[in-house]
Amino acid sequence: MFKRELLFQLILHIVVFIFFAFNWFDQAFLVDRAWFFLMYALATIFVSYYLMPTLLYTKKYLWFFVSICLVLAVLILLEEKILEPLLYPNTKRANTFPGLFYTLFGILPVMTILTSGKFAWDAIQQQDKIKELQSTITESELQFLRSQVNPHFLFNNLNNLYSYALEGSSKTPEIILEMSGVLRYMLYESKERFVPLNKELEQLTNFIKLYKLQIEERGEVSFTVGNGMTGQKIAPLILIVFIENAFKHSQSGQSSNIKIAIDVNLKGSTLFFSCVNNFEAVKGLDSVASGIGLANVKKRLQLLYPNKHILKITEQHKEFRVDLQIELETD
């Protein structure tokens, strides 16, 4: 970073020096103006690397203004009392003071350009730091949201597993096996920000099998996947929340005639996902559109796919429907 700033300042100083000290009519550099530029440049370094960080950026504006005035006063004294007598001995310019505004007219343009370059560089670096910080915060928030998925999934399924174990169901070992597979994916294979779409859909299939074991003969579950699901990437554990929500709330209010339809299609790079389930309203049960799972996934979609997704959730006539469109990443 230091090398980049040094190169930037070097180029800026060379450009300003050329315009300030080069005589375009004679096609030659003016030695006297080179000395003036050196003095202005040294003063600018003091302003840029000491006064700006210690006073301007700490919002000590009055002290910064006073310090700038002192720097200009010192420059004028050095120019009028030392530099000009050395460069123009026994001349009117060396022996007279042309005036404050005339002198400032020679100093301020050079210093303004050079300090503006430093200010612009600092502003760019600060913006980069803000973006990096925002990225870090976003990633931390995503990790936190994803960490909530595993306990949420485990809590729901352990309750169901407990019921099957009490009944001595022969499906208990199969449920444990399916749960271990899904948990293995959640814990170890879905750590990346994005995973292959076909791999995520494979896990959705296993997840649906797990929940279908719980429904048994009490209803119908359909899972339709279109063609061409290769070469795209998706954030892991996004779709699974909607499916889990459908199974949970279909079973919570009814013991039979459960209907769940899940459809996944791809058009270009846009994923179209729909999940529809019926339900019976139960007194004291929260709305199917509420809960940790859905609030979690909505937040993750906002963080991962800003302006790249459309989520529509409708609840009417004892039917709950989720329609989601996502612009996917590609390999």
pLDDT of residue 282: 62
pLDDT of residue 136: 67
pLDDT of residue 146: 58
pLDDT of residue 166: 82
Residue type, 10: L
pLDDT of residue 149: 55
The total number of residues written for the chain in this structure: 331
Cα 46 to Cα 243: distance, rounded to the nearest angstrom: 63
Cα 193 to Cα 212: distance, rounded to the nearest angstrom: 29
To the nearest 10 degrees (0 to 180), the angle between helices 239-253 and 292-304 is 160
Regions of the chain with pLDDT less than 70: 1, 133, 135-153, 156, 189-190, 252-255, 281-293, 331
Please list, in sequence order, all residues whose beta carbon lies within 8 angstroms of the beta carbon of residue 233, skipping any fewer than 6 positions away: 194, 195, 196, 197, 328, 329, 330, 331
pLDDT of residue 213: 75
- Report the candidate in 36, 44, 33, 109 with the shortest Cα–Cα distance to residue 71: 44
pTM above 0.85, yes or no: no
